[in-house]
Structure 1
Amino acid sequence: MRAMSTARPSNRSFSLLDSLGETASQQNAMLLIQLRWLAVFGQAATIVFSTLQFDLQLPLPPMFAVIGGLVLLNLFSMLRPRQAGEVRNGDLLLGLLLDISALTALLYFSGGATNPFVFLYLLQLTLAAILLEAWSTWLLVAYACLCFAVLTRHYLPLSLASSDPARLFQLHVYGMLVCFVLDVLLLVLFLGRINANLRRRDARLADLRQHAAEEDHIVRMGLLASGAAHELGTPLSTLAVILGDWRHLPEFRDQPERLQELEEMDAELRRCKSIVSGILLSAGEARGEAVSLTTVAGFLDELVTEWRRLHPQTELAYSIESPLDEAAFRRSPIVSDTALRQVLFNVLDNAQEASPAWVGLRVRCQDGRLGLRVEDHGPGFPAEMLARLGKPYQSSKGRPGSGLGLFLVVNVLRKLGGTVDAANAETGGAVVRLELPLAALSLGDAHEHGG
């Protein structure tokens, strides 16, 4: 699972060139700019070739002035500052309107509606039908039809130095062939790339909808957990008082076995109260709590010690890999994140259920990132579960309501800017890799995530 990339701040301005085609609209605008560059060089080459090869008498200064205007339009379109680099429907509409105007001007100087390249209007209208909103497309259709109608009456006729009508007709046929080939090649090339951009946009929207659904699921579970934690607070306190009273009764005070059982019950009760407090803390409902600062090494040492205490029958092989960033691992302060602690407990508990005798935890800290690798000697993940890693209710345990563990792990790590990956080891067993930036655990960033 990949974490979502950080979006650009919306209050900053970027040119289309700076944005590097991050969105479908930006990519489509870049395609229009590329098409305009092709038109600039193609039109210039056609004018020069027709003048030299076929002795056409063309008004070169105004025609090259129009081509120069297209060059300036392209440079302006690429470098103009935009809010977060975004390209709107109006931007594309204006660009296509100017393209049609430039084509009309060039056709006016080269035969008007009798010029075979008049069918290049169809290319621009086809692109408009795909890229623009419906009203914008119809506006361009009306404008192109008006330009075509004007060119049937107002234009500068083409003239050959030899004034041979047969040669002029032959040139018209050649022009129709070239125009047809250009239309076909450009339509196939650019429409294919535009459709690919739109498919990528649809895929991103589908991912965003999926993430929204998952986050809504998490919110509902969080509300349920928070409500349950509130409800459990009173009976847990009552049980603590009762256990305290029982310690002073002769039936328990004078019998060491029963007193030991009371101590074990009290320890488990304190654990339940700690879990409830952790739920309320994660929900932001704890009051008067000081922020707990530690280091990566201290956080992991405490977590491993606590997990070993709760699972004394399981060997936890805890190791730190080299090379190690000693300063970031042992000295840089981080917030003792309750959600991350619960995530690691969840992964270790899942590994212990699959492999009761042995669980491995490897830690890597380098280049500003913390990597955790949890291994076991169990049967591994089913193929269908790996294919849907992080989706709710994907479990091999076969119990109703199970399968939320990895779902929560993936979403918590994603909130922290990290990634989760799972696989089956070649030698047997399962491997879960977690990686997150250490900056996500710093004091300032932790407040941002929690606030």
Structure 2
Amino acid sequence: MPPLGTNHTSREMHSDWVRLRTLILLRWAAIFGQLAAIAVAYRYYDIDLPLGPSLLVVGAAIAINLVAAFVFPGAKRLTETEATLTLLFDVSQLTALLFLTGGLSNPFALLILAPATIAATALRTRSTIFLGLVTITLVTLLNFYHLPLRMSSGEELLVPRLFSFGFWLAIVIGVLFLGLYARRVASETHSMGQALLAAQLALAREQKLTDLGGVVAAAAHELGTPLATIKLTSAELADELSDRPDLQADAELIRQQADRCRDILRSMGRAGKDDLHLRSAPLSEVIREAAEPHADRGKELHVDVVPGPGGENRQPAVLRRPEIIHGLRNLVQNAVDFAKANVWVDAEWTDTRLMVRIVDDGPGYPTQLLGRIGDPFIGHRPAEDDRVARSGYEGMGLGLFIAKTLLERTGARLTFANAADPFLTAEERPPRCGAIVEVVWPRGEIEPASEGGLGENVPITG
């Protein structure tokens, strides 16, 4: 099984997720907060602020907001450049206001972290790094160049140099830490959203295939009688037209084509007219159906279905849910992709549980990724020779994530492991030396509620 890779483009955030209206509302909140802080400091704490320049800086933000609100539509989504410039203005505006009101000794200086954090959440890595460096540069300049806070009496409010350095260091660390933290969380959320969408699409496709199988089976059942009538009539005509060879050949052709239609419908609707088979099937049949698309890919599939300790000899019937079929199919595909020559699918059951184990003779899971198997887009880039050996398969961990998600929806519990010590030599490795996936269900979760199917035939009376 795979040394799993990653789709690096999935880690890049999309700037067009950011609506202009969202940033306008955030800026209005900042503007009202700035005006409130200036008013309280000037009126109630008797701090001598440069009101004119300070209000001019706040007025610039108001003007930009009004222009953005009236010129652009509210539903506008910003491009990468537009979002970067918008956040750059917010950093510059807050820096100018802090310059006029005490620099980093102003308790509201921590708000300068907001634009860089928003950038880490919504923009690409390059823009995020740019805004982070700009913020750190402006904070460093503020630490040395700013107008001191003074009381109306002329007394200057001084902060010890050690505290000033501590404020600067705390903000710089905040920019780096919050940026990395927000970036990581947003990236994982985005990757998980993409992976869940892929799982939903896979389930929808499997559901359509299942529904189509039911339609074909119903069609095969309904068309059986007309085709039998056509075959019988054409056979009688062929017998009666023994003295007309040309017409007899046409009747024989009609009978042959009726047989062909019957065979086509039978091959398309494997379940025939057995409605119960459309909803449930023996365990071995479900495994065969899941593994069938990968049976002719040059690897030997060994399927072994036996009762476990305490299990009855009769093979249980399980639900043919699309999640089960597609989930097992993904696991078998993963094993076939990375097996050298053989894949083993073992199934067993007891009175309380049902287990399916898939093992291959490939290299196994990378040891460093064992704890993360089942996460989408896990970060390991395979070597070039691995990519060649996998015949074009893109190992992003997405297939295993889809399988795990779908099977867990049916009540299953999945475990991933390696069958052999990776440090063994080729001669020491057992035949089953690759990756192991074990899927375990409580029997009540996967068995049909009733095995009565369509019920017993009721005799017609009266």
Tell me, yes or no, whether TM beats 0.5. Answer: no
From the two aligned structures, give the one with the greater helix fraction.
1
TM interval, short-chain normalised: 0.3 to 0.5
